[in-house]
Amino acid sequence: MQAAQGERLEVLLSAQQIASRIQNLGKRITLDYQNKPLILIGILKGSFIFLADLVRYIDLPISVDFMALSSYGSSTKSSGVVRIIKDLDHSIEGHHVLVVEDIVDTGLTLNYIYGHVKSRGALSVKICSLLDKPDRRQVAVPLHYKGFEIPDEFVVGYGLDVGERYRNLPDVCKLVRTDA
Ligand code: 5GP
């Protein structure tokens, strides 16, 4: 895909690398949740492609729900403000929950979600994130399943956007501003 004017895209993780890592995560989750009722909660919108690929590597009778929270908007800096835009459709009581996120940056979003979901009566709550930017962490969050650790760069693609653009890139790319 061609980058917008004033922007350049550099592949950080190829579609092939991502697919093989997700297959591995799916296998681990399948082993860990044998005979346990499991709900995966995708955090919209960034996790939609990751979740879609991950569930196909989980060989268990799972269900899926979604939450949406306020995010960066069109800027590339965290506002630190977390607000629920869409809550869960179904009760998670009596189920094990796996929260599926695209990326953990400051940790503020996942810290909030973790507390929120834990208070809803789940048997257990674990977190699975495709990407982890540990350098920018402000709040410690338990990352039980992690795809890749990446440096402190703003990335797009494979579900991640900037101002709603680039979500459909098959690779995770570093977004470089060329007009700065
Ligand atoms: P946190 O609350 O951990 O700072 O941020 C989590 C959210 O910020 C992610 O779910 C994602 O929406 C957004 N975010 C953080 N880093 C990046 C990045 O490098 N690229 C994009 N596109 N979004 C990011």
pLDDT in tens, the chain (180 residues): 889 899 999 999 999 999 999 999 999 999 999 999 999 999 999 999 999 999 999 999 999 999 998 755 445 555 556 788 999 999 999 999 999 999 999 999 999 999 999 999 999 999 999 999 999 999 999 999 999 999 999 999 999 999 999 999 999 999 999 986
5/25 Cα distance (integer angstroms): 36
Query: What pLDDT is attached to residue 60?
Result: 98
Cis peptide before 27 (omega within 30 of 0): no
pTM of the model: 0.94
Beta strand 38-44 pairing with 96-104: parallel
Residue 58 one-letter amino acid: I
Instruction: Sheet with 7-13: list strands edge to edge.
Output: 7-13, 172-177, 155-156
Catalytic residues: 105
State whether the beta carbon of 109 lies less than 6 angstroms from ligand 1.
Answer: yes
Query: What pLDDT is attached to residue 74?
Result: 47
State whether the beta carbon of 26 lies less than 6 angstroms from ligand 1.
Answer: no
Q: Whose CA is nearest to atom 16 of ligand 1?
A: 105
Query: What pLDDT is attached to residue 137?
Result: 95
Let me know: does 96 contact 29? Beta carbons within 8 Å. no
Let me know: does 90 contact 65? Beta carbons within 8 Å. yes
Residue 131 one-letter amino acid: L
State whether the beta carbon of 113 lies less than 6 angstroms from ligand 1.
Answer: no
Let me know: does 101 contact 110? Beta carbons within 8 Å. yes
Which of 48, 51, 160, 176 for a ligand 1 pocket mutation test, highest count of atoms within 8 Å of Cβ?
A: 160
Expressed in angstroms and rounded, the spacing between residue 85 Cα and the centre of ligand 1 is: 16
State whether the beta carbon of 111 lies less than 6 angstroms from ligand 1.
Answer: no
Domains parsed from the chain with CATH numbers: 16-150 (3.40.50.2020)
Query: What pLDDT is attached to residue 2?
Result: 86
Expressed in angstroms and rounded, the spacing between residue 63 Cα and the centre of ligand 1 is: 25
Residue recorded with tokens 């101002």: 163
Query: What pLDDT is attached to residue 34?
Result: 98
State whether the beta carbon of 157 lies less than 6 angstroms from ligand 1.
Answer: no
